[in-house]
A and B are shown apart, each in its own frame.
Chain A
Amino acid sequence: MAKTQADASPDALDMAWFWDRIAQGVVFLGGISAIVFIGGIFIFVFKEGFGFIFQDMDVVEFFTSPAWRPTSDNNPTYGTLALLLGTASVTGFAVLMAVPLSLGAAIYIAEFAGPRARELWKILIELLAAIPSVVWGFIGLSIMNPLIIELFDVPVGLNILNAGVILGLMAAPIMTTIAEDALKAVPDTYREAAEAQGATRWQVIWRVILPASRNGLMAAVLLGVGRGFGETMAVLMASGHSINIPGSPFDSVRALTATIAAELGETAQGSEHYQALFTLGILLFAVTFVINLTADLVVRGIRKQS
């Protein structure tokens, strides 16, 4: 029986060998797809907007002027200050609201809840994350709007408060999930050592676990900020339509993302306005790229430590 495989050439390259090679090639192409697409996004957005960047744009005016008036007949201006502040105010409000809530929820889920309850909470939060942004925007329009008008006695309910609360609820799930992962990543030995010295659960959390998971928590906040920064439809529908520098949470503002969404349909392809909008896109891409890169480095920092 030992010699049944004495073929003419035992070392011949067979079909299995070739299929393996082919599979390796195909799979590699899939592997580089992410790089290709990220590069592609940058290239194509840049391509459509570069006319504006290199010819018409006045960099100082672009970043410091609040006058975004692309459709003005005699003197269109492309100042993004109001838009930047609009994005910043809504995102800032959202983060301010969501970070403590997400952290608290993450601590509760990771440290206090029993296993069954934990499953339930995580499912609820996952479903929160599943709500599409246009539905959130609709909620801002139809539920939050009248609510704000009535509660605070203001004339208009589409403002920073509205969009901020909604964005906060949208960003909370990812912050909670990542924060919970960071808390869970702290080894049980830390907890056991502290409890052996008589610390209560809360003291263990406050003095041991939170400091140890600091990096992961920072990453969670960063990712939440990124999410809020890049959100389009909800902000478009809930923050109002005035392009102005905000003075109070009840002011209507316009964010960068919403501007692109609202105006792109009315521009002629290749026009200055069109290219300016693509330039806004490049700005957005750059900022979220930096945020994601930082968050990733921070997370990698934790892995190196452990």
Chain B
Amino acid sequence: MKLGAFEELVLLAVGVLGEDAYGVTIKEILKEKTEKNPSIGALHSALYRLEEKGYLEASEGGATNERGGRRKKYYRLTSHGIKVLEEANELRMAFSREVPGLNLNTSS
């Protein structure tokens, strides 16, 4: 498996956010979607890992006053990242279909 469960969620979050994906917004959306509150340290750690693996690419900018004039690090999914998400999803779907009695259609 190339992708951890938390990493997958982080990738999805970056995808959903589009242009505005950086530390704080990713943390907020993860909190909103999963109802769990990841620590900022764990999140940053995952982001750096994913960038290293080539699933994310980063650009810098957007310094604001609340950040004490510090720049943000914006993330974007790379094509590699999108592919790995698709693979992960396919794998799970294929696997799930083999479980008898698991209803896959109503969940959306």
Q: Do A and B come from one complex?
A: no
